[in-house]
Amino acid sequence: MTVDFDGTLYQGDSFSMMFKAANKSFGLKQWSVVAKGIVKAAAAGLVKGKNAFRMQFFKAFAKSFKGMTDKELDAFFDKLVRMGKRDIHEDLIHKIREHERQGDHIIILSGALTPFLQAFTKEVGLDVAIIGTELQADGSGICTGNVGSLINGDEKVNYVRKWMNRQIRVGNLTETEANETWAYADSKSDVPLFQFVNIRLL
């Protein structure tokens, strides 16, 4: 079973919340990086539309984390989760716990940054798999400011397939279980995911 994050499990605007958290944590250098990114994102948006703006802005915002340690990133995303607690979809949290008790395999699947999703699941006490957009680090564990593949649209399906195949290989998932798939999601970009799964829940 996959669960979307933005607009589904988390009903607020994570972009807006990241801005608010950054306002309390970022210095001038980090804000200058974000500002340059906004200019590039605006240009991309004019040519390619709203989704291109969001993608470009997302990458620019990630660059502001360059040079941060795991501990510093954890502190930032813990703060972000606390600030957005009122927007957590509590009813869906309870449904996920029911699926956990039934032994279902659950993935939080989102284009949001993986450290954010990890902080979120820790805060709400969910023991689930996470597929998100990775913040990359160098050999010393210091954030480079770069991100991996943006988990959006068709990429969600690609990564779920990879996850399922890996779990089947190591014996954690049976073929029967893999053939019964659910998705909780609410976005137009989740149409490929809805086409992939058996049961679609909004």
The per-residue pLDDT for 126 is: 95
What is the chain's length?
202
Those residues whose C-beta lies under 8 Å from the C-beta of residue 66, and which sit 6 or more positions away, are 33, 143, 144, 145
Give the predicted TM-score (pTM) of the model: 0.87
Our CA angle for 77, 5, 88, nearest 5°, is 70
The C-alpha atoms of residue 196 and residue 190 are separated, in whole angstroms, by: 10
Lowest mean pLDDT among 56-60, 77-81, 94-98, 137-141: 56-60
On whether residue 142 sits in a domain, the answer given is yes
Stated as kind and residue range, the H or E segment containing 48 is: helix 28-48
In a domain, residue 40? The reply is no
- Look at residue 195 in the predicted model and tell me its pLDDT: 93
Residue 183 maps to a domain: yes
Both tokens assigned to 81: 């989760």
Total domains present in the chain: 1
The average pLDDT across 104-126 equals 95
Confidence bin at 31 (pLDDT 50/70/90): low
Residue entry with tokens 């997302």: 58
Asked whether residue 191 is domain-assigned, the answer is yes
Query: What mean pLDDT comes out for the span 108-131?
Result: 95
Q: Is residue 127 included in any domain, yes or no?
A: yes
pLDDT for res 36: 72
> Which CATH number is 137's domain given?
3.40.50.1000
Q: What is the span of the domain harbouring residue 150?
A: 2-12+87-201
Q: What is the pLDDT of residue 56?
A: 75
Say if 20 falls within a structural domain: no
Judged by DSSP in three states, 39 sits in helix
CA torsion sign for 124, 95, 89, 136 is positive
Find where tokens 């990458």 sit.
59
